[in-house]
A = this chain, B = another copy of it.
Amino acid sequence: MVSEHEVRAALAAVMDPELGRNIVDLGMVRDVALADGRVTFTLALTTLACPLKEQIERNARLAVLALPDVQSVDIQLGEMTAQEKARLHGGEQPEGLAEKLNHVKHVIAVMSGKGGVGKSLVAGLLATSLRRSGYQVGVLDADITGPSIPKMFFPNGARPGSSPLAILPAETRTGIRVMSINLLLEAEDQAVIWRGPLISGVIRQFWTDVLWGELDYLVVDLPPGTSDASLTVLQSLPMSGVLLVTSPQDLAGMVVRKAAQMVQQMGVPILGLVENMSYFVCPDTGKQHEIFGASRADRMAARLGVPFLGRLPIDPRIATLCDAGQIEFYAAEAFQAIAEQVVKLAPGARQPAAPPA
């Protein structure tokens, strides 16, 4: 007859599609008992109203029935306690302790509303430029379903450290502290299929339970949209301001204006607007091609009543460096001026203590 260990190993292949993790790691499998080819256990769900309940139960049953000598499987459905649910994504750390130990002078969110205009690139370059100027810098990746930050900074992947007190951010080669959901996943392309409340919960944890320590600037990379992630960041974090990113396409501009309206409605300052993918310089002719249409970001900034901070070209080298985890080594002179303006514009900005080693 199979052992409890073998039953648990088989069940570890069953995923909760909404949580994106297996039901054993999630602590959902309890009270496993074996007798005469019959396996019984309790499946504790986050909620009995779980729409995927039957799917999970069926997959769990099939996984156990596939084991040798198992004739029948008896599954009791149960529900986790509120505390267990809260801990589901938080390990066993005492909540909010890190927050008390952190001292973050400026929190700047990079936002667009629109996807794929280069928010993460701008967040990465801003962090890189600020670090080069000698500031202590962190990057909080608030894009939970499509996180891009770790791939830009870590050529060989990275893991956060952990202590009994808090989660420790991963550190890049130039000393930027990074936290992202992708640092916690087993595989970088593992899907995180969560509804809004879980998304918001993990973003809040990245603020309260990560030991950022002393930071001059925490750069928050927001996902597209004006829903849960953006709402949570703008409502829950002590924002210094938002850096807006757009592209020349009018269609992108429309969505960016939605984001700007959200930020303004929530009473958070917009530090300025950056246009990415403004033009492509043909390497053969040196001529600039406005691939996504004529730039109109300066007019858009004027219309929004915010400073226009600059344009960035489409540079194939950036795509290559980002894919290779080398964004810190991009010669981003064009971006240095933008970063300097951000430093001037961020409320309460201060000088760094000393340049980095």
Contacts and interface: CB of A to CB of B under 8 A. Distances in A.
B116 A146 contact: no
Nearest to A200: B195
B292 A227 contact: no
Number of copies: 2
Contacts of A250: 151, 323
A330 interface: no
B225 A145 contact: yes
B293 A289 contact: no
B289 A227 contact: no
Contacts of A46: none
Contacts of A285: 282, 284-285
Interface residues of A, number: 71
A224 interface: yes
A258 B191 contact: yes
Interface string A90-131: 000000000000000000000001111100100000000000
A193 interface: yes
Interface in A128-183: 144-148, 151-152
B225 A225 contact: yes
A191 B291 contact: no
Given A255-B148, A291-B280, A322 B249 contact: yes
A11 interface: no
A241 B225 CA distance: 25
A292 B267 CA distance: 37
A266 to B, nearest CB: 6
B146 A255 contact: yes
A301 interface: no
B316 A227 contact: no
A319 interface: yes
A13 to B, nearest CB: 12
Given A115-B146, A223-B225, A320-B293, A261 B190 contact: yes
A189 B257 contact: yes
Given A146-B113, A284-B287, A319-B291, A231 B188 contact: no
A226 interface: yes
A223 to B, nearest CB: 6
Contacts of A255: 146-148, 189
The 10 closest A-B pairs by CB, nearest first: A115-B115, A116-B116, A196-B196, A189-B257, A250-B323, A145-B225, A191-B261, A115-B224, A191-B258, A146-B255
19 contacts: A18-B231, A113-B191, A115-B146, A116-B247, A145-B226, A145-B258, A147-B255, A193-B265, A195-B196, A196-B197, A196-B228, A223-B225, A225-B225, A227-B228, A250-B323, A251-B322, A282-B284, A292-B319, A293-B320
